[in-house]
A = this chain, B = another copy of it.
């Protein structure tokens, strides 16, 4: 399978051994478009790897975060979540449905970095700007 090859390559590049558990975690994380919790991942990955231990999920996720393969995400009233997309992006979060989605916007990023280049903050050096857009998905017409 093509996708699996890509995952194996990325794990190799990170200097990690290729194990069925790691491949399955990464595959699942890429497949689930939302940002699953460790528990959700455990449930889902267990379908593929029956004897899987919850500890492995935590270990694997920590290792991936360490190597920069995935990112941690958390809302103000929520448990830790994980995101396979490590490119710079923001999040849309709807408290009603407890749903979170990625949001990419280059124009916005350029506007913001220009802004903070101009407007310095009293001795705080900004290295990353993350937006959390609170709101709701209810208005959505299509399922896209």
Instruction: Let me know if A73 and B76 touch, CB within 8 A.
Output: yes
Please judge, given known A-B contacts A73-B76, A131-B131, whether A137 and B124 are in contact too, CB under 8 Å. yes
| B131 and A135 contacting across the interface, CB-CB below 8 Å | no
How far does the alpha carbon of A115 sit from the alpha carbon of B115 in the complex, in Å? 13
Q: Which of A5-13, A47-55, A103-111 contacts B (4 or more CB under 8 A)?
A: A103-111
Verify A75–B77 contact, CB threshold 8 A: no
**B127/A134 in contact, CB under 8 A:** yes
Which range holds the interface residue count of chain A? Answer: 35 or more
Give Cα A72–Cα B75 distance, bound, in whole angstroms.
Answer: 10
CB within 8 Å of B: which A50-96 residues: 71-78, 80, 92, 94
For residue A122, CB closer than 8 A to chain B, the reply is yes
